[in-house]
Amino acid sequence: MAKVELRNLQKRYGDTVHAVRDVNLEIADGEFFGLLGPSGSGKTSVLRMLAGLEAVSEGDILFDGASVVARSPQERNIAMVFEQNALYPHMTGRQNIAYPLKVRGTPKDEMKRLVDDVAEMLNIAHLIDRKAAQMSGGQQQRVAIARALVRRPNLLCLDEPIAHLDTLLRARLRGELKRLQRALGMTSVIVTHDPVEAMTMTDRLAVMRDGRLQQVGTPDEIHDRPANAFVAQFFGVHSMNLFPFEGLSGPDGRVARCQGQEALLPEMAQRFASADGRLLLGCRPGALRLRRAGEAAPEGALRLPGKVYVAEQIGDEMLVTLQVGELSATALLPERQAFGIDEPVTLTVDAAALYAFDPGSEATLHFGTGGEPGVPLHAAGL
C-alpha cells in the first residue's frame, strides 16, 4: 500500500492535444479515490500515467515519496482492472489470476493457495476453471478483479471496471468492490464517467474537465458545495438546473430576463450580479416547484415563467421537464400531479435553495441548501 502524489502532471499527445494540464493530487494510503469526468476530460490519461502505461510529459508521480515516472508498470507494482478485454481469452480463470504470480516465480503450492483465497473472497471459486470466453461479462470482470488483488499491489487502478455491465450487475459489483477495498485497505483509484458510481464508492474524488481538475473533495462536499457550474451540472443523480439572467433592473434590481422571459428575483440574488447586470443562478431539481396559473407563489422566491415539455411519473415521484424559452430545466416533485403538454407554469425556487455562480468564470459564489457560503476551491489555487 502506498501514498500517491501527483505533481504538476502534464500529458501531451503530439503538438496539438494537451490531455492533462497541471494536475496536483494527493491520495492517502488506503484511500479509495475517484477520477470523474466526461469523456475527453483526461481522467483516463491520468490513470494510465499512474499505472505506467503512458509516459508522463511533464511533472512527477510519487509513491510513498519516491518518484516512479521512470519505472515501468511491473516495477511500480500496481494492479489494474480494465474496462473490457482484459482477461487473457486463451487461459482459464485460474491461469489468469495466477499469471502475475507466475511471472514473478511464485512457488506452485503458494500460488494455488493465493488463487484459492482470492477466488473465495470474490465468490468465483466455482467458475475459475472455465476459459474466459465461457464466462459472462460480470464473471470475467470478477476474475479480472481477482487477478488484480491476488498480489497485494501498491496501488489498484480501476479503469471503468463496471461501465459496460448491465444496471443490476453494476449496482452489485459497486457494493462488492467497495467492501473489498475497505477490507483490504488497498490504495485504489477508479476512473469513471458515472457520478453515481463515484458518489457511492469513493472516499474522495476529483472532477476533471478538459484536462484540468475542477474540484477535489468527498462526494458530499462536491455534491453540496460544487466549485463551479460545470461540477454542479455534472455531479449528482440529476443535473443541476442553471438559469442565466440578464438586464437586471426594476426597483432594488429584482426583475431580470431569462431567455427573454421576465423573472422576479429573490432579494439575495442581486449581490451576485456582474457589473453588466448578468446573473447565473442554479438549483437542484428537487428544489424546483411549479405553480399553475392563479396559484400563489411564496414570498421572496425566484419566479420564472415556463411551460411543461413533458411530465413523467416515476413511482411516487414526478419528473417534469420544462422549457424556459430555449432553455430546458427539470423538476423533481414529491407528489403526483397531472400536467398537460405545453401547459404554462411558473417555476419557483426558495431563496435558500439557490446557488449563485459568477456569470463569467462560472465559479460558485454562493451555495444553496446544504452548503454555506465559503471560498470556492479554485479560488484557493486549484
Partner 1 sequence: MVASPDNAMLAGSPRRRPADAARRAERRSTWLLLAPAIAFLVVMAVWPFAYLLYASFTSYQLAVPIPIEFVGIDNFTRLLQGERFWSSLGITAIFALVAVPLQIAVGLGLALLINSVARAREFYASLFLIPMMLAPIVVGFAWNLFLNPIYGPLNSALRGMELSPPAWAQSPDWALPTIVLVDIWQWTPLVMVILLAGLRAIPATVFEAARVDGSTPRQTFRNIVLPMLAPYIVVAFVLRFIDSFKVFDVIYILTRGGPGTSTQNLAYYTYDLGFNRFEFGAAGALSIIQLVVLIVGTSLILAAARRGAGGMEGRRS
Partner 2 sequence: MTRTAWGEAGRHALLIILLLAMLAPLLWLLLTAFKPYEELFRSPPTIWPDAPTLRNFSEGWAIGGGKGIVDSLIVSTLSTAICLVLGFPAAYALARRFPPHGQLSFTILSLRMLPPIVPVIGFYLLYQKLSLFDTYAGLILVYTFMNLPLVVWLLAEFMRQIPRSFEEAARVDGASWFQLFRDVLLPLSLPGVATAGILAMIFAWNEFLFALVLTGDDVITLPKALASFFLFQQPNWGQLGAIGIVAFGPLLLLSYYMQKLLIRSFTITQR
Q: Is 345 in the site for partner 2 (CB under 8 A)?
A: no
Residues 39-68 touching partner 2, rule: CB under 8 A, are 51-53
Do 333 and 313 meet the contact criterion of CB atoms below 8 Å apart? no
174: cell is 459497486
Among 17, 28, 55, 237, binds partner 1 (CB under 8 A): 55
Query: Is residue 24 involved in binding partner 1 (CB under 8 A)?
Result: no
* Cα torsion through 310, 315, 317, 322, rounded to 10: -10
Stretch that binds partner 2, among 18-26, 74-82, 162-170, 203-211 (CB under 8 A): 74-82
Toward partner 1, which CB reaches closer, 55 or 237?
A: 55
Q: Which of 66, 70, 296, 380 binds partner 1 (CB under 8 A)?
A: 70
For cell 455534472, name the residue: 234
Contact yes or no for 305/346 (Cβ under 8 A): yes
Nearer to partner 1, 55 or 310 (CB): 55
Nearest Cα neighbor of 356 from 302, 275, 282, 289 is 282
- Select the binding partner of residue 60 from partner 1, partner 2, none (C-beta < 5 to 8 A, by kind): partner 1
Listing DSSP states for 310-340 in one string gives EEEEETTEEEEEEEETTEEEEEEESS-----
Which partner in partner 1, partner 2, none is near 70 (CB below 5 to 8 A by kind)? partner 1
By CB under 8 A, which span of 66-74, 168-176, 178-186, 281-289 interacts with partner 1? 66-74
Specify the residue, 67 or 136, whose C-beta has the smaller distance to partner 1. Answer: 67
* Interatomic CA distance for residues 141 and 147, integer angstroms: 10
Per rule CB under 8 A, is residue 80 in the interface with partner 2? yes
Calculate the dihedral angle through the C-alpha atoms of 92, 170, 183, 118, rounding to the nearest 10 degrees.
-10
**Interaction pattern, residues 139-168, with partner 2; x per rule: CB under 8 A:** --------x---------x-----------
Determine if 59 is a binding residue for partner 1 (CB under 8 A).
yes
The DSSP secondary-structure symbol of 296 reads P
Stretch that binds partner 1, among 27-35, 55-63, 351-359, 367-375 (CB under 8 A): 55-63
- Residue 57 binds: one of partner 2, partner 1, none (C-beta under 5 to 8 A by kind): partner 1
Ordered DSSP codes for 26-53: EE-TT-EEEEE-STTSSHHHHHHHHHTS
Of the pair 47, 269, the CB lying nearest partner 2 is at 47
Stretch in the footprint of partner 1 (CB under 8 A) among 59-67, 162-170, 209-217, 353-361: 59-67
For 10, 233, 315, 320, 341, the CA distances from 312, given in Å and listed in that order, are 45, 21, 10, 6, 11
Alpha carbon 149 to its chain's center: 24
Out of 79, 207, 301, 302, point to the residue binding partner 2 (CB under 8 A). Answer: 79
DSSP 257: E
Nearest C-alpha neighbor of 284 from the set 221, 214, 354: 354
**309 contributes a contact to partner 2 by CB under 8 A:** no
Q: Which does 211 bind (CB under 5 to 8 A by kind): partner 2, partner 1, none?
A: none
Answer yes or no whether residue 194 interacts with partner 1 by CB under 8 A.
no
Told to check if 64 binds partner 1 by CB under 8 A, we report no
- Are 309 and 291 within 8 A, CB to CB? no
86 binds partner 2 (CB under 8 A): yes
* Amino acid (one-letter) located at 156: L
| 8 A C-beta contact, residue 32 and residue 202 | yes
Q: Does 58 bind partner 1 (CB under 8 A)?
A: yes
56 binds, among partner 2, partner 1, none (CB under 5 to 8 A by kind): partner 1
Residue choice 1, 5, 22, 371 for contact with partner 1 (CB under 8 A): 22
Residues that bind partner 1 (CB under 8 A): 8, 22, 55-60, 67, 69-70
